[in-house]
């Protein structure tokens, strides 16, 4: 070997000091390649005197394997260093914003209605639908509210003809007798939907809103069963036990009739939502009046039942803290997109 | 309705029962209480003052400077402007710091240079009347410095009841009814009330003729020697507490009896009635009558009148007449206490929009035995206050009425079973007796006699009695129970299927398609119908709309979405909205009168007009078409096939030249897809900076529900690799993409698995009237790997057919 070629030790040192995989590979090719010094050394062996060929061959092969090992070792060191650098998280900004996933939204009334439908169907209730434009018969007469009954004033009803034969239903209760016409007892049903009241609107009053009727008819259905069903409903809606109270309430289609109050879920000692009373008036309910059962061709001596009317719009407002009922049906995208 | 706590105390001993407790009891057992408020709370801070001296104000003629002993040791100097103030009077004094109604705070001040250390009050200033001619002069027996509320017995609490919760309780329209409730709950007796009529003279009774069945009882009694004087302070205060303005003794007592017992009644000035007496009759057609509020009313034959001679004197059960009302000089009264038919009163009051305290009570169907007690109550109260009262003739009690009292058979087992609580028979009987029912019977069956006050309407069947037991036992004492019954999954009927379809559509749209769901009013405004040119279409409409031009119920969902479109475009650049709802079509009404109900999904997609050079399918029309295809696929129906509709059959919002109708299999059109009718854009406000690219679609849920199901079918995975080639064709513009694609399909001879149009281009390079179409074509064989030769043959066949269509394959 001439003096101009670097010593084997300096080549080894260069391998061990290589700064990155690319320069290491270059060095490997230069030293171990077909044109490299070791190849040259091996090629020169046949020109050596026979007695020194063996030793020269062994030496060249030792150099070759030593060098290859050094390269492999250095390569591994470099890879590990690179992995360590990567894993150190250098350059990672934990505060960068997430990529946006664009989505549409379901109306909050749809969301709460679905939850309730799922809750009630899991308990054997059938989900029913009823017309918004309703006959006086289902809306009043069959519900034990004859003409000239003062209870006709209890909801201000939109009438579609002067005789009042067709109305916009002011509650979901007309579905009760429609349900009895379709199903034979025992049965359980709910009927969510739109209802209408002829009253002026403000932040807490709307002429159109959503309700859900519930109706259970069976043998020996009692007030106790109604209380049980209402507590289950509230557990489902609020995800925990909610204290309730029943107090007398007058609705001609139930007897006895109740107002159900729920202990305010938002406070302990009175707040704006419960008007400082710690109770929220949540839903009217009661035991189905015998006349209503009769209107649905069900014998009140054999069967009894309970019914309730839950304000879905009100529930949505309570749940999301919505302060103006008029947003619900406004069709304003800025409102709707909040419920993704 | 307002109830006075003090007034209740006239009928039941309230010791140990606070106003708050009364409210709680009523709430849990009787009715809905809206509020409990102290009556004129500021009265607690007003003191009795003794005017020691009065002198004229040095600088003002009408003012007096008084020295007033307010029980403080030294007298206060108070300037007073009332003409009637004088030395020696006991007066009501508001001291500095006291607040009076109307945010009026009394301060020590100087009036025309003279210091005034308080105010001597009139009744009006205290909130106790309209009297403002002078200060309120109190009885001389009062002690200076005493609190006025105590000294005059004015402290009270006002309980406001929600009237709706009393709709079924004619017995609760007076204080005695409420007192009976409290008495029953607290096991206390009601205080006795003497209401028998005192002896009368033997003169001729007032002749009463009843010509209408709407009057079942009419009591008439002459009272002489009366004066329309000021009522005593206790009476005035009670009336004030319940918002009844005191007028004079004769009228105040009439109101008091109504508010005490719940029985309306009327007093006429007898001298202004005809000697022939009283006739109860229906109004004549076009008859007019001036009620005592001074308004002339046009009557109808269904209205019931009280007439005297040929003149009407009262609208029965609603309001008296102006001409016969009691006035300052009245000395002779005719007292009317009657039973009028609830529906007659209700109809007339409703039609005339004249709801009075009287009509509100009559329409509840009052106890027909009550008039006699009410008449006696009036006479006895008046006799105590009017020593000169004379009753010249016996009472006239006319009419045919039936005592509604009845007996109801009640099974104690049914009480327990309906309430869901164990109650002993004796406990049930005890509750009913406390409420005034008579109870007989044993071994589980009770015979309950219902007193007339409860029998007119409220209590008619056993369920009504069960409610009585439940509310007094309190519903809070009933344990929660679980229903046990066999259950089966709900039937997979049309309603269930529709609900499942709706959920699929909602989820798909709110998900990848990024639509927002909205819900709208069912009302559709005349304004939007006019914009849409749909005014002539038939609509269900209400006759008592919330506002002019807002009476119609939508036939379809789409107008609701269009009504908010401009607003939403302004607020959000890109608007994707859908609504699933109902429309009503009256021309298809059922025999019973129910209009046909249609269920629809409507979609609106609007945004800025796409930039020039955007991909051919970047517009909302193409995008929405894709969404619709995906939706229908998601519901497990056959893929949509599109066709051009007859423009005449399109809805008015649809662009007649850019519309498609989609079907899933055979049958009715399922979807209408269109760009917005160009004439509508400006009318809807979509102009200038809001100029929009708008696509609209309406999908019939009813048709979708009826469409045959066709879920995805598995096909074996390909064994041989697919070959993908791009094909570009320049064709005359009238050649449709569908026509050209069909060429490719045929050319593939069954090998074409997918065709995706990815470019449309028109430009000078192609020559006028020509358009270039470019597809990605996927070819697969089930038998072998396709080679160059197969592809070459595919191109040859395609080229041959394209040439016949005047089109050519583009190379490159």
**DSSP conformation letters of B671-696:** EEEEEEPHHHHHHTT--GGG--EEEE
The whole-angstrom separation of Cα A300 and Cα B561 is: 46
Among chain B residues, CA nearest to A287: B418
Residues 372-431 of B with CB under 8 A from A: 417-421
Please state, rounded to an integer, the average pLDDT across all residues of chain B.
Answer: 94
Spatial CA neighbour of B579 closest among B659, B669, B502:
B502
Whether A74 and A150 map to the same domain: the answer is no
Among chain B residues, CA nearest to A160: B542
Whether A274 and A197 map to the same domain: the answer is yes
Per-residue pLDDT reduced to its tens digit, B212-258: 999 999 999 999 999 999 999 999 999 999 999 999 999 999 999 99
Whether A240 and A274 map to the same domain: the answer is yes
Is the residue at A103 inside a domain?
Answer: no
Is the residue at A124 inside a domain?
Answer: yes
Question: Which contiguous run of DSSP H or E holds residue B800?
Answer: helix B788-804
Q: Read off the pLDDT of each residue in B629-645 and give the average, rounded to a whole number.
A: 94
Spatial CA neighbour of B568 closest among A338, A103, A328, A331:
A331
Share of chain B above pLDDT 70, in %: 100
DSSP B464-505: HHHHHHHHHH-GGGSPP--------PPP--HHHHHHHHHHHH
Question: Which contiguous run of DSSP H or E holds residue B76?
Answer: strand B76-80
Distances (CA, A) of A5 to A36, A42, A43, A294: 11, 16, 17, 114
Whether A61 and A124 map to the same domain: the answer is no
Share of chain A above pLDDT 90, in %: 62
Interchain contact B466–A (C-beta under 8 A): yes
Per-residue pLDDT reduced to its tens digit, B474-506: 999 999 999 988 877 888 889 999 999 999 999
Which one of B346, B479, B518 has the shortest CB-CB distance to A150?
B346
Does position A154 have pLDDT exceeding 80, yes or no?
Answer: no
Is the residue at A97 inside a domain?
Answer: no
Q: How close B541 comes to chain A (CA, Å)?
A: 6
Per-residue pLDDT reduced to its tens digit, B204-225: 999 999 999 999 999 999 999 9
The whole-angstrom separation of Cα B411 and Cα A301 is: 12
The whole-angstrom separation of Cα B91 and Cα B68 is: 9
Per-residue pLDDT reduced to its tens digit, B649-683: 999 999 999 999 999 988 899 999 999 999 999 99
Whether A195 and A66 map to the same domain: the answer is no
The whole-angstrom separation of Cα A68 and Cα A72 is: 6
Whether A73 and A158 map to the same domain: the answer is no
Among chain A residues, CA nearest to B566: A332
Is the residue at A125 inside a domain?
Answer: yes
Is residue B627 within 8 A of residue B509, CB to CB? The reply is yes
The whole-angstrom separation of Cα B391 and Cα B203 is: 9
Between these two residues, B424 and B486, which has the higher pLDDT value?
Answer: B424
Domain at A176, CATH number: 3.30.930.10
First to last CA, chain B: 90
Whether A145 and A67 map to the same domain: the answer is no
Q: How many residues does chain B have?
A: 812
Per-residue pLDDT reduced to its tens digit, B355-372: 999 999 999 999 999 999
Tell me what pLDDT residue A155 has: 66
Largest CA distance in chain A: 133
DSSP B635-682: TTBPPEEEEPPPGGGS-TTEEEEEEEEEEESSSS--EEEEEEPHHHHH
Asked if the Cβ–Cβ distance from A287 to B463 is below 8 Å, we say yes
Other beta carbons within 10 angstroms of residue B535's beta carbon come to 11
Q: Read off the pLDDT of each residue in B330-338 and give the average, rounded to a whole number.
A: 96
The whole-angstrom separation of Cα B139 and Cα B158 is: 26
Asked if the Cβ–Cβ distance from B164 to A126 is below 8 Å, we say no
Least confident of A261-270, A316-325, B597-606: A261-270
Q: Read off the pLDDT of each residue in B716-726 and give the average, rounded to a whole number.
A: 93
Whether A41 and A133 map to the same domain: the answer is no
Q: Which of A88, A118, A143 is the last residue of a domain?
A: A88
Question: Which contiguous run of DSSP H or E holds residue B218?
Answer: strand B215-224
Spatial CA neighbour of B481 closest among B410, B414, B413, B418:
B418
Q: How many residues does chain A have?
A: 340
Between these two residues, B336 and A162, which has the higher pLDDT value?
Answer: B336
pLDDT category at A4 given cuts 50, 70, 90 is low
Asked if the Cβ–Cβ distance from B420 to A225 is below 8 Å, we say yes
Asked if the Cβ–Cβ distance from B495 to A128 is below 8 Å, we say yes
H helical segments located in A5-102: 8-16, 21-32, 37-44, 50-87
Is residue A219 within 8 A of residue A186, CB to CB? The reply is yes
The whole-angstrom separation of Cα B401 and Cα B396 is: 14
Asked if the Cβ–Cβ distance from A304 to B418 is below 8 Å, we say yes
Whether A30 and A117 map to the same domain: the answer is no
**Complex ipTM:** 0.88
Question: Which contiguous run of DSSP H or E holds residue A319?
Answer: helix A312-320
Asked if the Cβ–Cβ distance from B516 to A102 is below 8 Å, we say no
Q: How close A235 comes to chain B (CA, Å)?
A: 14
Whether A115 and A59 map to the same domain: the answer is no
- β partners of residue B756: B776
Which letter does DSSP use for residue A300 in this model?
A: T
Residue bearing tokens 């390079």: B765
Q: Which of A35, A59, A88 is the last residue of a domain?
A: A88
Long-range contacts from B773-777, C-beta under 8 angstroms, 24+ separation: B773/B728, B773/B729, B773/B731, B773/B737, B773/B740, B774/B726, B774/B727, B774/B728, B774/B729, B775/B726, B775/B727, B775/B728, B775/B741, B775/B744, B776/B724, B776/B725, B776/B726, B777/B724, B777/B725, B777/B726, B777/B727, B777/B744, B777/B748, B777/B752
Q: Read off the pLDDT of each residue in B710-733 and give the average, rounded to a whole number.
A: 92
Is the residue at A10 inside a domain?
Answer: yes
Tell me what pLDDT residue A1 has: 45
Asked if the Cβ–Cβ distance from A329 to B31 is below 8 Å, we say no
User: What is the CB-side half-sphere exposure of residue B214 using CA atoms within 13 A?
Assistant: 24
Q: Read off the pLDDT of each residue in A16-41 and give the average, rounded to a whole number.
A: 88
Q: Read off the pLDDT of each residue in B519-541 and give the average, rounded to a whole number.
A: 95
Q: How close A32 comes to chain B (CA, Å)?
A: 43
Q: Which of A115, A221, A248 to mutate to test the interface with B (most CBs of B within 10 A)?
A: A248
- Would you state the structure tokens that stand for residue B433, as one six-digit string? 């007796």
Per-residue pLDDT reduced to its tens digit, B360-409: 999 999 999 999 999 999 999 999 999 899 999 999 999 999 999 999 99
Is residue B668 within 8 A of residue B710, CB to CB? The reply is no
Tell me what pLDDT residue B812 has: 53
Burial of B812 (0-12, 13-18, 19+ CB in 10 A): exposed
Whether A82 and A189 map to the same domain: the answer is no
Is the residue at A300 inside a domain?
Answer: yes
Tell me what pLDDT residue B684 has: 93
Is the residue at A13 inside a domain?
Answer: yes
For B612, residues 6+ apart whose C-beta sits below 8 A from its C-beta are none
Largest CA distance in chain B: 131
H helical segments located in B474-594: 494-510, 526-532, 558-563, 565-571
Which residues from A are below 8 Å from B546, CB to CB? 198-201, 207
* B164 SS3 class: helix
Number of structural domains, chain A? 2
Per-residue pLDDT reduced to its tens digit, A248-266: 999 999 999 999 999 888 8
Residue A317 is part of which domain span? 108-339
For B79, residues 6+ apart whose C-beta sits below 8 A from its C-beta are B57, B63, B64, B65, B66, B111, B112, B114, B115, B116
Q: How close B489 comes to chain A (CA, Å)?
A: 6
Is the residue at A98 inside a domain?
Answer: no
**Whole-prediction pTM:** 0.87
Per-residue pLDDT reduced to its tens digit, B150-208: 888 889 999 999 999 999 999 999 999 999 999 999 999 999 999 999 999 999 999 99
Q: Which of A88, A120, A135 is the last residue of a domain?
A: A88
Question: Which contiguous run of DSSP H or E holds residue B630?
Answer: helix B620-634
Is residue B494 within 8 A of residue B705, CB to CB? The reply is yes
Least confident of A2-16, B624-638, B646-660: A2-16
pLDDT category at A275 given cuts 50, 70, 90 is confident
Which residues from A are below 8 Å from B476, CB to CB? 245-246
Tell me what pLDDT residue A2 has: 46
Whether A30 and A134 map to the same domain: the answer is no
- Would you state the structure tokens that stand for residue A242, as one six-digit string? 């909610």
* B720 SS3 class: coil
């Amino acid at each position: 070997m001439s003096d101009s070629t670097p010593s084997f030790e300096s080549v080894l040192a260069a391998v061990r000091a290589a700064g990155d995989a690319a320069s290491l590979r270059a060095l490997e090719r230069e030293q171990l390649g077909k044109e490299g010094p070791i190849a040259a050394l091996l090629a020169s062996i046949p020109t050596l005197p026979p007695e020194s060929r063996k030793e020269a061959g062994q030496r060249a092969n030792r150099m070759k394997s030593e060098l290859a090992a050094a390269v492999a070792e250095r390569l591994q060191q470099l890879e590990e260093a690179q992995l360590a650098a990567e894993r150190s998280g250098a350059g990672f900004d934990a505060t960068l914003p997430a990529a946006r996933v664009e989505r549409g939204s379901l109306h909050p009334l749809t969301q709460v209605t679905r939850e309730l439908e799922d809750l009630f169907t899991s308990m054997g209730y059938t989900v029913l639908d009823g017309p918004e434009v309703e006959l006086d018969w289902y809306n009043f007469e069959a519900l034990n509210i004859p003409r000239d009954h003062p209870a006709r004033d209890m909801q201000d009803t939109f009438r579609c003809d002067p005789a009042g034969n067709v109305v916009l239903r002011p509650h979901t209760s007309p579905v009760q007798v429609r349900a009895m016409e379709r199903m034979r007892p025992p049965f359980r049903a709910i009927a969510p939907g739109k209802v209408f009241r002829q009253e002026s609107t403000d932040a807490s009053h709307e002429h159109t809103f959503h309700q859900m009727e519930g109706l259970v008819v069976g043998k020996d259905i009692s007030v106790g069963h109604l209380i049980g069903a209402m507590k289950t409903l509230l557990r489902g809606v609020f995800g925990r036990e909610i204290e309730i109270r029943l107090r007398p309430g007058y609705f001609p289609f139930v007897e006895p009739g109740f107002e159900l109050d729920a202990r305010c879920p938002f406070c302990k000692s009175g707040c704006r939502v419960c008007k400082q009373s710690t109770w929220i008036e949540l839903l009217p309910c009661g035991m189905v009046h015998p006349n209503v059962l009769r209107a649905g061709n069900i014998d009140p001596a054999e069967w009894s039942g309970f019914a309730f009317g839950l304000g879905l719009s009100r529930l949505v407002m309570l749940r999301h803290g919505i302060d103006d009922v008029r947003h619900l049906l406004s069709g304003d995208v800025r409102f709707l997109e909040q419920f993704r | 309705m307002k109830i006075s706590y003090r007034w209740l105390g006239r009928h039941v001993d309230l010791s140990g029962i606070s106003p708050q407790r009364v409210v709680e009891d009523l709430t849990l057992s009787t009715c809905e209480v809206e509020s409990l408020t102290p009556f004129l709370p500021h009265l607690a801070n007003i003191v009795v003052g003794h005017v020691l001296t009065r002198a004229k104000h040095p600088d003002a003629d009408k003012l007096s400077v008084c020295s007033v002993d307010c029980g403080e040791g030294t007298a206060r100097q108070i300037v007073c402007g009332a003409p009637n103030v004088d030395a020696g009077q006991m007066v009501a004094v508001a001291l500095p710091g006291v607040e009076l109604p109307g945010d009026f705070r009394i301060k020590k001040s100087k009036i025309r240079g003279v210091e005034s250390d308080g105010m001597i009050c009139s009744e009006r200033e205290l909130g106790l009347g309209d009297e403002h001619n002078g200060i309120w002069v109190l009885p001389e027996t009062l002690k200076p410095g005493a609190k006025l509320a105590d000294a005059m017995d004015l402290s009270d609490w006002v309980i406001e009841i929600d009237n709706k919760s009393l709709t079924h309780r004619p017995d609760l329209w007076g204080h005695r009814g409420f007192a009976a409730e409290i008495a029953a709950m607290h096991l206390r007796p009601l205080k006795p009330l003497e209401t028998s009529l005192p002896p009368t003279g033997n003169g001729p009774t007032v002749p009463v003729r009843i010509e209408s069945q709407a009057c079942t009882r009419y009591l008439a009694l002459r009272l002489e020697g009366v004066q329309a004087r000021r009522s005593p302070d206790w009476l005035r205060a009670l009336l004030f507490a319940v918002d009844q303005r005191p007028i004079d003794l004769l009228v105040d007592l009439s109101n008091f009896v109504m508010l005490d017992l719940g029985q309306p009644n009327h007093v006429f000035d007898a001298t202004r009635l005809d000697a022939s007496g009283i006739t109860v009759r229906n109004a004549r057609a076009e008859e007019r009558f001036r009620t005592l509020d001074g308004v002339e009313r046009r009557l109808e034959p269904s209205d019931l009148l009280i007439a005297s001679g040929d003149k009407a004197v009262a609208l029965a059960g609603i309001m008296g007449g102006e001409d016969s009302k009691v006035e300052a000089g009245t000395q002779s009264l005719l007292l009317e206490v009657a039973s009028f038919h609830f529906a007659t009163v209700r109809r007339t009051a409703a039609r005339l929009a004249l709801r009075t305290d009287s009509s509100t009570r009559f329409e509840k169907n009052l106890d027909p035995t009550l008039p006699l007690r009410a008449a006696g109550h009036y006479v006895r109260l008046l006799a105590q206050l009017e020593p000169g009262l004379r009753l010249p003739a016996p009472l006239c009690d006319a009419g045919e009425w039936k005592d509604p009292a009845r007996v109801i058979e009640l099974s104690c087992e049914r009480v327990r079973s309906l309430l869901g609580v164990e109650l002993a028979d004796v406990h049930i009987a005890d509750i009913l007796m406390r409420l005034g029912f008579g109870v007989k019977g044993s071994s589980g069956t009770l015979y309950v006699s219902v007193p007339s006050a409860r029998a007119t309407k409220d209590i008619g069947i056993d369920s009504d009695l069960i409610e009585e037991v439940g509310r007094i036992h309190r519903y809070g004492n009933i344990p929660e129970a679980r229903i046990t019954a066999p259950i089966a999954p709900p039937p997979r009927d049309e309603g269930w299927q529709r609900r499942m379809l709706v959920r699929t559509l909602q989820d798909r749209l709110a998900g990848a398609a990024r639509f927002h769901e909205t819900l709208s009013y069912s009302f559709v405004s005349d304004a939007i119908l006019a914009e849409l040119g749909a005014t002539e279409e038939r609509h269900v409409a209400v006759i008592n709309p919330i506002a002019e031009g807002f009476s119609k119920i939508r036939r379809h969902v789409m107008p609701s979405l269009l009504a908010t479109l401009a607003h939403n475009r302004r607020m959000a650049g890109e608007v994707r909205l859908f609504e699933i709802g109902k429309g009503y079509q009256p021309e298809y009404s059922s025999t019973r009168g129910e209009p046909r109900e249609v269920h629809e999904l409507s979609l609106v997609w609007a945004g800025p007009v796409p930039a020039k050079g955007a991909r051919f399918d970047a517009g909302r029309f193409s995008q929405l078409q894709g969404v619709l295809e995906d939706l229908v696929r998601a519901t497990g129906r056959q893929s949509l096939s599109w066709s051009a509709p007859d423009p005449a059959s399109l809805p008015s919002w649809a662009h007649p030249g850019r519309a498609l109708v989609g079907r899933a299999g055979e049958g009715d059109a399922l979807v209408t897809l269109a760009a917005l009718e160009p004439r509508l854009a400006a009318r809807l406000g979509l102009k200038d900076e809001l100029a929009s690219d708008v696509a609209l679609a309406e999908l019939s849920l009813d048709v979708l529900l009826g469409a045959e199901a066709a879920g995805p079918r598995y096909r074996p995975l390909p064994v041989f690799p697919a070959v993908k080639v791009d094909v570009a064709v320049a064709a005359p513009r009238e050649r449709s993409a569908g026509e050209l694609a069909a060429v490719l399909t045929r050319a593939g001879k069954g090998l074409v698995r997918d065709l995706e149009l990815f470019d449309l281009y028109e430009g000078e390079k192609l020559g006028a009237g020509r358009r270039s179409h470019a597809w990605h074509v996927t070819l697969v064989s089930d038998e072998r790997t396709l080679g160059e030769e197969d592809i070459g043959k595919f191109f040859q066949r395609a080229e041959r057919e394209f040439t016949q269509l005047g089109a050519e394959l583009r190379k490159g």
